[in-house]
Amino acid sequence: MTYPPTQSDTDRQALLNDAIDWAVAHGLLIRPPVEKVSDSFENGSLVTHAPFTLYPTPFPRAEFEKAKGLQQPWNTLIHKLSVDDALITEVMKELSGVDDFMQKLYEIYLKTKEEGVMQRASLGIHRCDYLLHAEIGADTKSARIQQVEFNTIASSFGSLSTYTSQLHRYLLQASERYAAGVINIDQLPENRSVQAIAGGIASAWKLYGNPHARVMMVVQPGERNVFDQRWIEYNLLESHGIRLLRRTLEEIEDRGELNPKTKALTIDGHEIAVTYFRSGYAPTDYPSSKEWDARLKVERSLSIKCPTVAYQIVGAKKIQQLLSVPGRLERYVDVYTADLLRESFTGLYPFDNSAEGQHAYKLALEDPERFVMKPQREGGGNNIYGSDIVDTLKKLTVEERSAYILMELIRSPPLENLMVREGKLIEGEVASELGIYGIYLNDGDKAIVNEIGGHLLRTKAHSTKEGGVAAGFAVIDSPLLV
Ligand code: ADP
Ligand code: MG
Ligand code: MG
pLDDT tens for 431-450 read 999 999 999 999 999 999 99
SS3 (DSSP) at 324? coil
Q: Considering the domain boundaries, does residue 203 fall inside one? A: yes
Residue 115 Cα to chain centre, angstroms: 31
Taking the CA of residue 149 as reference, the ligand 1 atom at the shortest distance is 6
- Phi, then psi, of 105 in degrees rounded to 5: -60, -40
Pair (282, 200) in one structural domain = yes
Q: Best of 148, 349, 406 to mutate for ligand 1, by most ligand atoms within 8 A of CB?
A: 148
| Whether residue 149 lies in the annotated active site | yes
Pair (379, 238) in one structural domain = no
Please check if 300 is assigned to a binding site: no
Q: ∠ CA 131-470-253 to the nearest 5 degrees? A: 120
* pLDDT at residue 1 in the model: 66
Pair (149, 245) in one structural domain = yes
Q: Considering the domain boundaries, does residue 378 fall inside one? A: yes
Segments of 322-462 assigned E as strands: 348-350, 371-375, 384-385, 404-408, 415-421, 424-442, 447-461
Residue nearest to atom 9 of ligand 1 (CA): 380
Taking the CA of residue 379 as reference, the ligand 1 atom at the shortest distance is 3
| Whether residue 378 lies in the annotated active site | yes
Which of 355, 386, 409 is the last residue in one of the domains?
409
SS3 (DSSP) at 248? coil
Pair (310, 432) in one structural domain = yes
- Active-site residue, from 75, 82, 122, 156: 156
| Whether residue 44 lies in the annotated active site | no
Pair (254, 381) in one structural domain = no
Q: Is the CB of 382 under 6 A from ligand 1?
A: yes
Pair (278, 416) in one structural domain = yes
Domain of residue 394, CATH code: 3.30.1490.50
* pLDDT at residue 228 in the model: 98
Give dist(CA 367, CA 43) in Å, integer: 51
Is the ipTM value over 0.95, yes or no? yes
Q: Is the CB of 347 under 6 A from ligand 1?
A: no
Pair (41, 151) in one structural domain = yes
Pair (82, 202) in one structural domain = yes
Cβ within 8 Å of residue 305, ≥6 positions away: 119, 122, 123, 274, 275, 277, 298, 299, 311
- Ligand lying closest to the C-alpha of residue 407: 1
Q: Give the domain extent around 219.
A: 9-346+410-481
Pair (251, 400) in one structural domain = no
Which of 409, 434, 456 is the last residue in one of the domains?
409
Please check if 96 is assigned to a binding site: no
Of the candidates 314, 301, 310, 311, which has an alpha carbon nearest to the alpha carbon of residue 274? Answer: 301
Give dist(CA 478, CA 185) in Å, integer: 12
Pair (248, 369) in one structural domain = no
Q: Is the CB of 373 under 6 A from ligand 1?
A: no
| Whether residue 379 lies in the annotated active site | yes
Q: Considering the domain boundaries, does residue 4 fall inside one? A: no
Count how many domains the chain has.
2
Q: Considering the domain boundaries, does residue 1 fall inside one? A: no
Q: Is the CB of 378 under 6 A from ligand 1?
A: yes
Please check if 414 is assigned to a binding site: no
Residue nearest to atom 20 of ligand 1 (CA): 148
Q: Considering the domain boundaries, does residue 2 fall inside one? A: no
Q: How far is the CA of 407 from the centre of ligand 1 (A)?
A: 10
Residue count (the chain): 482
Instruction: Going residue by residue through the chain, which has 482 residues, state the pLDDT in tens, using 9 for 90 and above.
Output: 689 999 999 999 999 999 999 999 999 999 999 888 888 899 999 999 999 999 999 999 999 999 999 999 999 999 999 999 999 999 999 999 999 999 999 999 999 999 999 999 999 999 999 999 998 888 888 899 999 999 999 999 999 999 999 999 999 999 999 999 999 999 999 999 999 999 999 999 999 999 999 999 999 999 999 999 999 999 999 999 999 999 999 999 999 999 999 999 999 999 999 999 999 999 999 999 999 999 999 999 999 999 999 999 999 999 999 999 999 999 999 999 999 999 999 999 999 999 999 999 999 999 999 999 999 999 999 999 999 999 999 999 999 999 999 999 999 999 999 999 999 999 999 999 999 999 999 999 999 999 999 999 999 999 888 877 877 789 999 999 99
Rounded to two decimals, the pTM is: 0.98
Pair (342, 352) in one structural domain = no
Pair (331, 404) in one structural domain = no
Name residue 150's beta-bridge partners: 128
